[in-house]
Amino acid sequence: MTTTQSDAGLSMDLGDDLILGRARTLAPLDPALADPLGEAFAALSPWRDYPFSAAALAGYFRGIQPDAPRFAIRVGDQVAGIAGLRRSWLRGPYLQFLGLLPAFQGHGLGSAVLAWFERDARAMGERNLWVATSDFNRDALRFYTRAGYHETARIDGLIRDGKTEILMRKRLD
């Protein structure tokens, strides 16, 4: 198993929020937060569109798997969202889950998480970054495209019949 700062239980700096001046960090997700965050994300698009149940999301949030950390994205002392990784996925890591609660969207926090994801992978000498998003999630597609990700595959029925996921890659030179 890869040993990282996150595995050691430390929090990682995402840089300060330039507007409010609060520290933004990633820290291992407290399992006690899995249920409330499962409820919150089950009510939000794209998860509500499948739908994913609150229990299924909570089960993923509290899961413990080798090389697949779940992080709380924090702004000051508030939990703003969750990032879930799968390291060593396909010649590089896969960002399996990225979600911010509505109050924290559109303020550069998601971009800060992607910048950390890239720095972490580069530090490990990886060649590729991977994300996937639903084809109907136009905001997320624009967000990942602006960050340098390109469509690699359209995968019909990956999660549900009648729905298509877009696998996106960023190549690290």
Ligand X SMILES: CC(C)(COP(=O)(O)OP(=O)(O)OC[C@H]1O[C@@H](n2cnc3c(N)ncnc32)[C@H](O)[C@@H]1OP(=O)(O)O)[C@@H](O)C(=O)NCCC(=O)NCCS
Q: Does 83 bind ligand X (CB under 6 A)?
A: no
Structure tokens given for 81: 């969202």
Q: Which of 111, 122, 136, 159 binds ligand X (CB under 6 A)?
A: 111
Minimal distance in Å, beta carbon 4 to ligand X? 22
Minimal distance in Å, beta carbon 81 to ligand X? 6
Q: Which of 42, 79, 100, 129 binds ligand X (CB under 6 A)?
A: 100
Residue with tokens 């396909």: 90
Which span sits near ligand X by CB under 6 A: 20-28, 59-67, 94-102, 164-172? 94-102
The beta strands (E) that lie in the chain are given as 12-16, 23-28, 70-75, 78-86, 94-100, 128-134, 150-156, 164-171
Residue with tokens 């430390």: 10
Query: Exposure pattern of 62-96 as b/e (b: 16+ CB <10 Å)?
Result: beeeeebbbbbbbbeeebbbbbbbbbbbeebbbbb
Which span sits near ligand X by CB under 6 A: 48-56, 66-74, 106-114, 152-160? 106-114
- Print the binding letters for residues 119-158 with ligand X: x by CB under 6 A, - otherwise: --------------x---x-xx-xx---------------
Closest CA to 93 of 105, 106, 83, 79: 83
Site for ligand X in 49-78 (CB under 6 A): none
Applying CB under 6 A, the residues found at the interface with ligand X are 18, 46, 81, 98-100, 105-111, 133, 137, 139-140, 142-143
